[in-house]
Amino acid sequence: MVRPPLLAVLLLAALPLAAQESATFTITRDADTVASEAFAHAPAELTGSLTRVSGTVRERVRYRATIVDDQSAPLLELTAWRADDPEESPARQTVRVIFKDDSVAVDDVNRWGGVMTRVLPTRPAAVPYLNLSIGFLELATRRLAASRVDSLPVPFFNLGGGQTVVGGVRRLGADSAAVRLGAVEFRVAVDAAGRILGGRVPSQGLLIARGTAR
């Protein structure tokens, strides 16, 4: 794994804490909560924890991603547990992902020490996407806000399956946007910086609510 120069690490460590923004998201369908997330976004890093419910399966995923100016993430790590696993228990799976130009190296480590390394194709400046993570989805709306244009094509790399999905993001008004991942469209409220304030996924009957991190 390529390590950043020591000077770069020291400079990142010196960033003021005030630059970090924290929030929570809850995704519901009717009266059921299907995902909850807490995340923090800093100028060079995105971290968070996502709990997802699918039928009888409950999963908790923690993530840490290095973020660059275009809101892509050249390096990230995900660790996964069942939602009912004790907090101190070893992760059931750890995945390290390194993006470089049009390829992605994925190191998948299970709790028994088995390692699988894959190199997959992608597109330059692809935005990583973890299913139902609004923290990752917000990288696309932040990219649009920084661009000062009305729409952008955005390739998304699906962290759950390893495919690159053709998508895009476009303004619907001064305070709203649409993010498309393949055939799925998120309709979201945004602020001037591209922060997602809430929204919905009409085709799946999902509502997205933003809260304040504790």
pLDDT digits (tens, 9 = 90+) for 47-75: 999 999 877 778 999 999 999 999 999 99
Kindly report the number of other CB atoms within 10 A of residue 202's CB atom.
11
pTM for this entry: 0.86
Choice between 57 and 144, residue whose per-residue pLDDT is larger: 144
In Å, how far are 63, 123, 145 from 1, measured between CA atoms?
Answer: 18, 20, 32
Interacting residues of 93 by C-beta distance below 8 A, sequence separation 6+: 78, 79, 80, 108, 109, 110, 111
Interacting residues of 25 by C-beta distance below 8 A, sequence separation 6+: 35, 36, 37, 39, 134, 135, 196, 208, 209, 210, 211
Q: Which two tokens stand for residue 102?
A: 């049009």
Give pLDDT, residue 113.
64
CA-based nearest residue to 97, from 153, 154, 38, 46: 46
Reported as a pLDDT band with limits 50, 70 and 90, residue 111 is low
Give pLDDT, residue 139.
97
d(CA 117, CA 105): 7
- What is the average pLDDT value for the chain, to the nearest integer? 88
d(CA 178, CA 186): 6
What is the rounded average pLDDT of the residues 184-201?
A: 96
Choice between 155 and 86, residue whose per-residue pLDDT is larger: 155
> 6-20, 96-110, 118-132, 149-163: which has the minimum mean pLDDT?
6-20
